[in-house]
């Protein structure tokens, strides 16, 4: 006869969860978690995965036209990395019971979001560099603290992703450096790209703290480590000297060092624009969603064939056995 | 545990070599002895390198077009990977051409500043892929053929070509395997996928014979070049095996004629090639003085 321990009560499980969080230990897939944590975490990881996948499009736009074979290799490798990040993240969400088909469905039906930045167009090859420098730079600011997320599989995914993002950022900055030492036209292309991407990059950190309702809970669960405004400030402080080294002007007349705060002050962000872009009115929302939907739908017959073949193989094995 | 050392893991900043091949250098043959072996005609060696390099460059371009359009994320990664490998092969071969002909021209000169009639790729490489079945059919055919050629080139009298082939064999083995697996899945899968796969091979097959025609340049480079006519048997064996597993028949369709006696290897291409190059070369040509 086996003696089984009585199952722990929900209150005990909850205490254990809170204790794990308080001690800064990781939650692992086998651990009990409150339903709200599970749902929030799946949504956070899925939206991050969606951002990687949709984020392939603006840069993918330039792969076939990249003006040197080295730049082409870099860009192709980078966009490939993003597909890999998306896969990795969907897998992390699956450890919490998320389903990839379901998450994809939520993306293409617009029920789950992706980063607003990818709803802006890439209009010249300089955009490739500026996306590497500013957009990946902002992503790194956002993501490095997530390497300490309380959810273990996500934290570990973030380590690898941040590592590759740092390649991307350096490659972007190096492209801009090269272009800035090139022709006058190239310098103009870079400045124009900076003008278009600076403010949307600042918006990547999300709404201001006083308008970010989920931040408190996420910080308590340690799935978010710094507030939106803290991360935004860190990004600005990091980027201004890089812009000076590059020789570009950031399009903000209010940008100035504040010795008292020990930070750069910057101008007011157009939050109406962010709301418009998030709610579907950005310059490329329709195109990005349409491309993803079409790829998924065009691939349906291929996925069905793979499943049918696998079933037939299984049947053949059973007959042979 | 690893995740406790996130910041440390991120700190070692100088490890570009760990990223994808080809992202960290301007000249793929930097530091390599590129002396043309005695008795070998440098111009012919360059022409031969352009043939093999253009095949890879142009097929890579067609694979790049699939980016963000693949049926599944795993295939997104795989197609980009094959595209990157082929781009790497193209860069090495174009760079070799510039050393062999003594012109010192770099890979970008050949990729961006040649006209359509100067490209020497086989016409199948430039074929557009109307659907995923065509993609895997083209990749299976071209990589099976190229793998057989590269296996022979490993013993080429040109040590640079031999080294490029050595690297390429490992890559092409994977590419062929990827495509073969998909041909089998689609051929055996559903009625729809079977019919689509049949149509794809019917579309591709008229351009297959061209792959095995020995060109004058190849004839003039015994011991250096591989004679493509010699690999036909090996190609047929592999294809027969894959098609059989996929429940497909070898297509019975006529080969496509050349134009005025010339085909891809002579710089006579299909109408699709002009558009491909217009796209590939557009930015580089709009800014000929620029550095990237």
- Largest Cα separation within chain A, whole Å, is 85
| ipTM of the prediction | 0.94
Q: Please indicate, yes or no, if residue B14 is contained in any of the structural domains.
A: no
Taking contacts as CB-CB distances below 8 angstroms, the residues of chain B near A179 are 290-292
Q: Flag if B64 and A67 touch (Cβ within 8 Å).
A: no
Alpha-carbon Rg for chain B, nearest whole angstrom, is 20
Residue B9 has pLDDT above 90, yes or no: no
Predicted confidence (pLDDT) per residue in B150-204, tens digit = 999 999 999 999 999 999 999 999 999 999 999 999 999 999 999 999 999 999 9
Predicted confidence (pLDDT) per residue in B32-62, tens digit = 888 999 999 999 999 999 999 999 999 999 9
- B269: domain CATH number is 1.20.1260.10
Q: Flag if B70 and A299 touch (Cβ within 8 Å).
A: yes
Taking a C-beta distance cutoff of 8 angstroms, is the pair B144, B84 a contact?
Answer: no
Q: Please indicate, yes or no, if residue B8 is contained in any of the structural domains.
A: no
Predicted confidence (pLDDT) per residue in A75-116, tens digit = 999 999 999 999 999 999 999 999 999 999 999 999 999 999
pTM above 0.90, yes or no: yes
Q: Please indicate, yes or no, if residue B129 is contained in any of the structural domains.
A: yes
Domain range holding B207? Answer: 34-286
Beta strand pairing call for A263-265 and A256-258: antiparallel
User: What's the domain count of chain B?
Assistant: 1
Q: Please indicate, yes or no, if residue B43 is contained in any of the structural domains.
A: yes
Report mean pLDDT in 10-residue bins for chain A, 321 residues: 77 92 92 94 95 97 98 97 96 95 95 95 98 95 90 93 91 96 98 98 94 83 87 96 97 98 98 95 96 97 98 94 84
Q: Please indicate, yes or no, if residue B22 is contained in any of the structural domains.
A: no
Nearest-by-CA chain A residue for B92: A69
- Label residue B146 left, alpha or beta by phi (over 0 means left) and psi (-120 to 50 means alpha): alpha
Q: Please indicate, yes or no, if residue B223 is contained in any of the structural domains.
A: yes
| Lookup result for tokens 């590497």 | A132
Taking contacts as CB-CB distances below 8 angstroms, the residues of chain B near A301 are 190, 192-193, 196
Q: Flag if B189 and A147 touch (Cβ within 8 Å).
A: no
What letter does residue B259 receive in the DSSP assignment? B
Interface residue of B1, B2, B4, B6 to substitute, partner A, most A CBs within 10 Å: B6
Compute how many other C-beta atoms are within 10 angstroms of the C-beta atom of residue A270. 13
Taking a C-beta distance cutoff of 8 angstroms, is the pair A192, A127 a contact?
Answer: no
A130: tokens are 């500026």
Distance from CA of B129 to the nearest CA of A (A): 13
Q: Please indicate, yes or no, if residue B242 is contained in any of the structural domains.
A: yes
Taking contacts as CB-CB distances below 8 angstroms, the residues of chain B near A55 are none
H or E stretch covering B250: none
Query: Could you tell me how many residues make up chain B?
Result: 292
Taking contacts as CB-CB distances below 8 angstroms, the residues of chain B near A69 are 22, 57, 87, 90-91, 94, 107-108, 111
Which neighbouring-strand residues pair with A27? A151
Q: Please indicate, yes or no, if residue B116 is contained in any of the structural domains.
A: yes
Question: What confidence score (pLDDT) does residue A212 get?
Answer: 81
Taking contacts as CB-CB distances below 8 angstroms, the residues of chain B near A57 are 68
């Amino acid at each position: 006869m086996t003696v089984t321990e009585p199952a722990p009560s929900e209150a005990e499980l909850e205490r254990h969860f809170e204790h794990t969080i308080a001690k800064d230990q990781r939650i692992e897939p086998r651990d009990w978690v409150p339903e709200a944590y599970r749902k929030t975490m799946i949504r956070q990881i899925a939206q991050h995965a969606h951002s990687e996948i949709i984020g392939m499009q603006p840069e993918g736009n330039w792969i076939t036209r990249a003006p040197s074979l080295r730049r082409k290799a870099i860009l192709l490798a980078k966009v490939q990395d993003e597909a890999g990040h998306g896969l990795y993240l969907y897998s992390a969400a699956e450890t919490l019971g998320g389903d990839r088909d379901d998450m994809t469905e939520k993306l293409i039906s617009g029920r789950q979001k992706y980063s607003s930045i990818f709803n802006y167009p890439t209009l010249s090859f300089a955009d490739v560099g500026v996306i590497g420098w500013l957009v990946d730079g902002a992503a790194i600011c956002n993501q490095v603290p997530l390497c300490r997320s309380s959810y273990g599989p996500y934290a570990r995914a973030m380590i690898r992703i941040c590592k590759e993002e740092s390649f991307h950022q350096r490659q972007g900055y190096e492209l801009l450096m090269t272009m800035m030492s090139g022709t006058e036209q190239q310098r103009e292309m870079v400045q124009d790209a900076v003008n278009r991407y600076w403010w949307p990059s600042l918006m990547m950190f999300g709404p201001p703290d006083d308008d970010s309702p989920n931040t408190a809970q996420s910080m308590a669960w340690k799935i978010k480590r710094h507030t939106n405004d803290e991360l935004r400030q860190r990004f600005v402080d990091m980027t201004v000297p890089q812009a000076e080294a590059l020789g570009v002007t950031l399009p903000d007349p209010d940008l100035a060092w504040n010795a008292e705060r020990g930070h750069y002050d910057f101008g007011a962000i157009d939050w109406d624009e962010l709301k418009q872009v998030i709610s579907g009115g950005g310059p490329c929302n329709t195109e990005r969603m349409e491309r993803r939907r079409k790829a998924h739908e065009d691939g349906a017959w291929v996925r069905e064939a793979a499943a049918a073949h696998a079933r037939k193989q299984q049947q053949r094995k059973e007959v042979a056995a | 545990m690893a995740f406790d050392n996130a910041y440390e893991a991120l700190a070692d900043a100088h490890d570009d070599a760990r990223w994808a091949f080809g992202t960290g250098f301007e000249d793929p043959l930097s530091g390599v002895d590129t002396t043309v072996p005695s008795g070998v005609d440098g111009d012919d060696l360059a022409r031969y390198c352009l043939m093999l390099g253009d095949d890879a460059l142009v097929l890579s371009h067609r694979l790049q077009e699939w980016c963000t359009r693949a049926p599944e994320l795993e295939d997104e990664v795989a197609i980009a990977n094959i595209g990157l490998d082929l781009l790497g092969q193209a860069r090495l071969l174009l760079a070799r051409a510039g050393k062999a002909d003594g012109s010192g021209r770099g890979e970008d000169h050949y990729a961006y500043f040649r006209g359509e009639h100067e490209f020497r790729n086989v016409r199948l490489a430039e074929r557009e892929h109307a659907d995923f079945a065509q993609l895997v059919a083209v990749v299976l055919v071209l990589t099976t053929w190229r793998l057989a050629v590269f296996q022979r080139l490993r013993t080429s009298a040109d040590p640079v070509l031999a080294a490029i082939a050595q690297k390429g064999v490992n890559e092409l083995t994977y590419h062929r395997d990827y495509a073969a697996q998909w041909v089998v899945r689609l051929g055996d899968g559903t009625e729809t996928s079977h019919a689509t796969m049949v149509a794809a091979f019917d579309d591709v097959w008229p351009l297959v014979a061209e792959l095995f025609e020995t060109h004058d340049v190849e004839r003039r480079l015994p011991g250096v070049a591989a004679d493509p006519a010699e690999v036909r048997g090996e190609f047929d064996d592999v294809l027969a095996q894959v098609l059989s597993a996929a429940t497909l028949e070898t297509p019975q369709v006529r080969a496509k004629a050349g134009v005025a006696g010339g085909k891809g290897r002579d710089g006579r291409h299909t109408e699709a090639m002009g558009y491909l190059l217009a796209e590939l070369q557009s930015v580089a040509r709009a800014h000929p003085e620029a550095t990237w």
